[in-house]
Amino acid sequence: MMLNIGNFMAEELDPFKISQQQLDDAAEVMGLDKTAHAILREPMETLVVNFPVKMRDGSVKIFKGFRVHYNDARGPSKGGIRFHPQENLDTVKALAAWMTWKVSLANLPYGGGKGGVICDTKKMNQTEIENLSRGYIRAIGRFIGPKVDIAAPDVYTNSQIMAWMTDEYSKMLGYNEFGAITGKPTEIWGSEGRFNSTAMGGLYVLREAAKLRKMNLKNAKIAIQGFGNAGKFAFDLSRNLGAKVVAISDSSAGVYSPKGLDYDKLAAEKAKIGELKNYTGKDAEKVSNEELLEMDVDVLIPAAIENQITNANADKIKAKIVLELANGPVTPAADKILFERGILDMPDFLVNSGGVIVSYFEWVQNTQNYYWTEDEVYKRLDTIITKSFNDVLATQKKYKDNGKKISPRTAAYIVAVERVAAAMKVRGWY
């Protein structure tokens, strides 16, 4: 049932339906072949597993997990693994779809994939999390591999979890296989520069977007929604640009200071307590996530979860640039509103592609057994993500010259979808 929200109507917030709508919008603009469109609206393979995990009290609990291969026309599937209490198949399918477009836009030799487990790791100890990680890999082990599907960390998973998964997968094979999982610790051949790569890539995009808008990032005011891995690194790295983060939030609370927040104090509080709700820094006041999104800032960085900017609040966004570091933070209806209002909304599968780009570098290094320095990684990342940005701009210009004004998201979709459709065509899939 549709409900009135102010002057707007409540919109569809199912992430997979949103991903399909975004594809449909781009397909209509670009005149995509109907068969190719039908193939690309659904994942190629979906695995649902139920697996046992031994808990701290000696009991055994059954967990449900997922792994989706969306499309592998351009290469093996690639995508992260989430541990989340609200995980569900539609979210995993949507994330696998977005990963398909993300790797295609970056022109990596991959298809899109994603995985997840329904669990609450905040209520589990380290042994239980390790047992869960190993159990999940045993359950999906026949579905992954360096030439089939390469996993990586995502929400509530990290390099240690990837290390346990790599070890378990290697035990299943009977030999070491480091190329099946990326985001590993460097002790077992993870890549230098991997753990802040998502934020680093996002800031390269911000640099280019600021040039486009003739914005001086020195002393620019930034608000960041999310203080997890991506949001935290975005805060830290933004200092290199001379920008000022005036607001940040996590799931518990947000804090604001017009003079700029102290990264070191906030990071220490987060490390100590695990949340920001009790932070009492000088000149900092509490704000809600909703208030943070609507602040009068130069740059807004949604770095948390899906569906944060919708048709209910898109008309209240005051930022000049929205940098989507999270997956799916802006709904299709909101995207149209922001575009019509002249706000430069840089889409998620461009902005946050730094993580998968450096995961690709890790996979390449594992395959070659030859490893790069952090500087080499960042230079290669900058080259690829800047080219992706320019590909989006060129597509926007091409369509504008033909009388069609399209948003950066639609342009990015057109670039990505054209490449996947072309690969399917030459392989004879349609």
What is the secondary structure of 238-270 as a DSSP string?
HGGGT-EEEEEE-SS-EEE-TT---HHHHHHHH
Residue 4 has a pLDDT of: 34
Residue 252 has a pLDDT of: 81
What CATH number does residue 60 fall under? 3.40.50.10860
The answer to whether 70 and 93 have CB atoms below 8 angstroms apart is yes
Residue 10 has a pLDDT of: 56
Q: What is the dihedral of CA 96, 334, 324, 113, to 10 degrees?
A: 0
The answer to whether 365 and 184 have CB atoms below 8 angstroms apart is no
If asked whether residues 141 and 271 sit together in one domain, one would say no
What is the dihedral sign for C-alpha 349, 350, 355, 358?
A: positive
If asked whether residues 211 and 238 sit together in one domain, one would say yes
If asked whether residues 112 and 235 sit together in one domain, one would say no
Exposed / middle / buried, residue 356 (Cβ in 10 Å: 0-12, 13-18, 19+):
buried
N-to-C CA span, the chain: 38
- Domain assignment present for 37: no
Q: Cα–Cα–Cα angle for 166, 172, 178, nearest 5°?
A: 30
- Domain assignment present for 72: yes
The answer to whether 401 and 16 have CB atoms below 8 angstroms apart is no
pLDDT digits (tens, 9 = 90+) for 269-296: 888 877 888 787 777 888 998 899 999 9
Q: What is the C-alpha to C-alpha distance for residues 322 and 408, in angstroms, rounded to an integer? A: 11
Beta strands in 123-213 (DSSP E): 149-153
The answer to whether 343 and 302 have CB atoms below 8 angstroms apart is no
Active-site option among 102, 114, 244, 270:
114
- Domain assignment present for 423: no
If asked whether residues 175 and 297 sit together in one domain, one would say no
Helices (H), 341-407: 348-351, 354-368, 374-401
- Domain assignment present for 398: no
Q: What is the C-alpha to C-alpha distance for residues 9 and 429, in angstroms, rounded to an integer? A: 39
How many other CB atoms sit within 10 Å of the CB of residue 123?
8
The β-bridge relationship of strands 254-256 and 111-118 is unpaired
Domain boundary among 182, 209, 241: 182
Render each residue's pLDDT in the chain as its tens digit; 430 residues: 233 334 444 567 888 999 999 999 999 999 999 999 999 999 999 999 999 999 999 999 999 999 999 999 999 999 999 999 999 999 999 999 999 999 999 999 999 999 999 999 999 999 999 999 999 999 999 999 999 999 999 989 999 999 999 999 999 999 999 999 999 999 999 999 998 899 999 999 999 999 999 999 998 999 999 988 889 889 988 888 889 999 999 888 899 999 999 898 888 888 887 788 878 777 788 899 889 999 999 999 999 888 899 999 999 999 999 999 998 899 989 999 999 999 999 999 999 999 999 999 999 999 999 999 999 999 999 999 999 999 999 999 999 999 999 999 999 999 999 999 999 999 999 9
If asked whether residues 208 and 346 sit together in one domain, one would say yes
Give yes or no: 114 in active site: yes
If asked whether residues 173 and 229 sit together in one domain, one would say no
Residue 240 has a pLDDT of: 83
- Domain assignment present for 399: no
Domain boundary among 351, 371, 402: 351
Domain boundary among 320, 351, 382: 351
If asked whether residues 117 and 83 sit together in one domain, one would say yes
- Domain assignment present for 427: no
- Domain assignment present for 133: yes
Overall domain count for the chain:
2
The answer to whether 146 and 64 have CB atoms below 8 angstroms apart is no
What CATH number does residue 273 fall under? 3.40.50.720
The answer to whether 272 and 248 have CB atoms below 8 angstroms apart is no
Residue 237 has a pLDDT of: 85
Residue 328 has a pLDDT of: 86
Residue 213 has a pLDDT of: 94
User: What strands, in cross-sheet order, belong to the sheet with 299-302?
Assistant: 285-287, 254-256, 244-249, 221-225, 299-302, 321-323, 344-346
* Residue 168: domain span: 45-182
